[in-house]
Structure 1
């Protein structure tokens, strides 16, 4: 059957099924279906998931030109207004409006929020952040002009809510929304969410680039919590007895963990915001000590463990510089994910974590783009050419390690050295090495990477080397 016959079969489906199909697409893809035929021009308007994102309509080249950007925003807002005017009786499940510099279009934004409330949507995204912002320090307070109306706080159908770059937002006003399961707050000053979190049924919480966090506890029955690049003004205690996924990105704060889940499926710690490639500062020893304390406090006290632990290059560099790195206690982690540049400054930290994960079954090496510092240079007597040739053996290698996974593998010397280390070191239970090449790798580099993977297979007696072209 050729493609035209398949297209005819899809077109012959009843409208109700076509609406279900387009509702499974992203809104941008849904809009693109209108070019298929006259019939699709009406079908795509009936999607139940509507997303008006300025970044989907304006290309980077338009944004770079102030005049073209202003004209493009006018066209975008006009398109949004015409779309909404055509919507009558059909239900809407998801509604998103994302536009920067909202002051010019406040009256339109207010009408769109009112439209979402009338449709009694289940999922609502109100995002007025600026794509040019990189951290909360970049936020211009004059741009935070949208205030969430009372009607949103009373929208009992809400199951998911994302609010970004709004003025005078108070999470406590959401306490009466019994169906609300997922919340995300970003790019604004945030008052204490504890009254809301402790009385609601929220299962997923994300706080992204918020400031002025003057609360001293994050407490609730959430299963997933992500805190990304926020400013805490007080020491904070995490009281999350049901948490299954915990992600933190940002500065180092003296966090404490109380009544946490005994087994956390996934912990992700990212402190790259502090990484200026200068670990010789006077603060590096203190930072290393704080990171060791954080790991001990989170993953050891009370017998807690993380099935999967993901760490960043900064942590790998700093924990060996603690005054007492040997105080880092063993962890029950089964899967360790190292986001790393494989710079010599990270090697001792990698070794320290391998030593303290005696039950490790899977090691993932997620290679990041190198920093400006030359990767081939030695550091403090650590030679990248010979470090992984040492006769080092960790308990996890001898007893439990089954798989080594390398992401963004290109066959370079840095990743070959460490993979050979695990192949040569007599890992009794090691079954496979998986190598994932970058999706954008050119054909010449792919051939080179494949050749290096074949070399690894030749020196591997009992295990399988698998290459994935991601």
Structure 2
């Protein structure tokens, strides 16, 4: 029996709304002819060139691209719904189909779209030379500003825009920009013109070496920056709750309100050389000292001890959940200890274990001469306060049960007086024998000495 025939149309639309647009179009029509027209009534639309253009031949690519543009035109002509919630368009070489793109933007805006995503980036671009592609940019059509009063989220990839016109986006809260030139002056104008913006994401943008938004407060609650190579970072964001940065080490002067900032993610894994940048890293940590959740990378663990302060003492962080992107390598131990000493109120540690960039013995500089890093935890001089008073949970993700991992966990168990739970998630390999060996090594921890009688160990 065909049960789909008995479903009311609103319920079918609800089902379709949970499917990717490609699935809703290409597959549901096979189930029942009724769905041929229903999928055109949905309010989440995603036109992606990759669904149509996949040939390696330039001649076939052009033909497939023409089919794609015709599909968009016909789809819009037969669309039956008056309003749409989300509209996404992904197409390369937008100059060759300007009319179709402008038609799409007009179509979305006329129906009060709330989430607009335009991606005109070229898959073949080298992210290290994105600045060379500036001449290929496509500008957001003027109708996008004129009818954008209902827009709440705007994502532009390789798509230029005019900051002065953002004053017409009276409901805009979320802006994402990628693969375009964005100066700090542009960002200042953008945030001062459209004061409703709360979330800003920048990815692979150039001309942002000096990320200086000045002393004037900005209203952002979320800020994400990925691979923009900023060298200086000046920011006054008293409402900021979430900060995520991936790129090069920067010199910081950042103000966030202590009772507002919640989570900070810092990733300097793109750095390839060891420099004594410990002072800069400490300043960044101090700027975000009030964050409750802190994620740091292996680079920070290896380099932060190279500063003047970490060798002698610690800094005061309010972190309750510390997440380490680590390989649990001896070169990371000094940085790990420094963070343990700095987080006196720490309640949870997550060791996210994977293959990280570890500096060679020749490049890595031990902060204390004469120390044997392989026996680092056995010679730990001072027990961090968090291990004596607050740390309750340790999560290990992707465990390979190396000697370094087991020694680290044994130290935490022996010093953690209030530990309640250690959750070990083993790295799953295709080799059954390797998996069993790791499981056996992990079970050794159940017989290791522990300071807390409440401690339970789970192995998955």
Shorter-chain TM-score: which interval?
Answer: 0.7 to 0.9
- Please give the residue correspondences for 1:294-443 in structure 2 after superposition, counting only pairs within 5 Å: 294-299=284-289, 305-325=290-310, 326=312, 328-371=314-357, 385-392=374-381, 393-423=383-413, 425-438=414-427, 443=432
CA distance in 1, matches of 2:91, 2:37: 26
**2:150 paired residue number:** 157
Contact 1:240 1:261 in 2 (8 A): no
Aligned to 2:127: 135
For 2:64 and 2:358, locate their aligned partners in 1 and report how far apart those are by CA, in whole Å. 37
Provide the TM-score with structure 1 as the length reference: 0.85
Unpaired runs of 5+ residues, structure 1, are 300-304
- Residues 1:196 and 2:194 are matched in the alignment: no
- Which stretch of structure 1 is more off in the superposition, 218-227 or 150-159? 218-227
Task: Indicate the residue corresponding to 1:247 in structure 2.
Answer: 244
Distance 1:88 1:46, change over 3 A: closer
Of 85, 90, 110, the match for 1:98: 90
Does the residue aligned with 1:264 lie in a helix, a strand or coil?
Answer: coil
> Matches of 2:343 and 2:159 in 1, distance apart?
43
The answer on whether the counterparts of 2:264 and 2:288 sit within 8 Å (CA) in structure 1 is no
Q: Flag the 1:142–1:291 CA change in 2: closer, same or farther, 3 A.
A: closer
Shift of 1:88: 3.5
TM-fit CA distance, 1:131: 3.1
1:195 deviates by: 3.4
Note if contact 2:40-2:80 (Cα within 8 Å) is conserved in structure 1: no
Distance 2:94 2:87 in 1: 17
The TM-score with structure 2 as length reference comes to 0.86
CA distance in 1, matches of 2:303, 2:85: 46
Tell me how many residue pairs correspond in the alignment. 443
How do 1:211-230 residues align onto structure 2 when only pairs under 5 Å count?
211-213=206-208, 216-217=212-213, 219-230=217-228
| Distance in 1, Cα, partners of 2:439 & 2:141 | 57
- The question of whether the paired residues in 1 share the 8 Å contact of 2:130 and 2:179 is answered with no
**Could you tell me whether the CA contact under 8 Å between 2:236 and 2:254 is conserved in 1?**
yes
Tell me which of 70, 79, 87 is aligned to 2:79.
Answer: 87
> Are residue 19 (structure 1) and residue 8 (structure 2) matched?
no
Q: Does residue 450 in structure 1 map to residue 439 in structure 2?
A: yes
Work out the CA distance in 2 between the residues paired with 1:373 and 1:271. 13
Mapped partners of 2:353, 2:418: distance in 1: 24
Mapped partners of 2:8, 2:83: distance in 1: 18
> Displacement of 1:20 after TM fit?
1.6
CA contact (8 A) 1:133 1:139 kept: no
- Quote how far apart the aligned CAs of 1:147 are: 0.9
Task: Using the TM superposition, give the Cα deviation of residue 137 of structure 1 relative to its aligned residue in structure 2, in angstroms.
Answer: 2.8
SS at match of 1:256: strand
Question: What are the ranges of 5 or more consecutive residues in structure 2 without an aligned counterpart?
Answer: none
Shift of 1:69: 4.6
User: In the TM superposition, what whole-angstrom CA distance separates every residue of 1:264-319 from its partner, at most 9, and x where no partner exists?
Assistant: 11011111121x2x42xxxx12x2221112222332xxxxx010011111111111
- Contact persistence 2:252–2:280 (CA under 8 A): no
Other-structure match for 2:107: 115
Matched with 1:302 is none
Task: For residues 392-418 of structure 1, give each alpha carbon's deviation from its aligned partner in whole angstroms, at most 9, with x where no partner exists.
Answer: 521111111101111112333332232
CA distance, structure 2, for counterparts of residue 415 and residue 109 of structure 1: 53
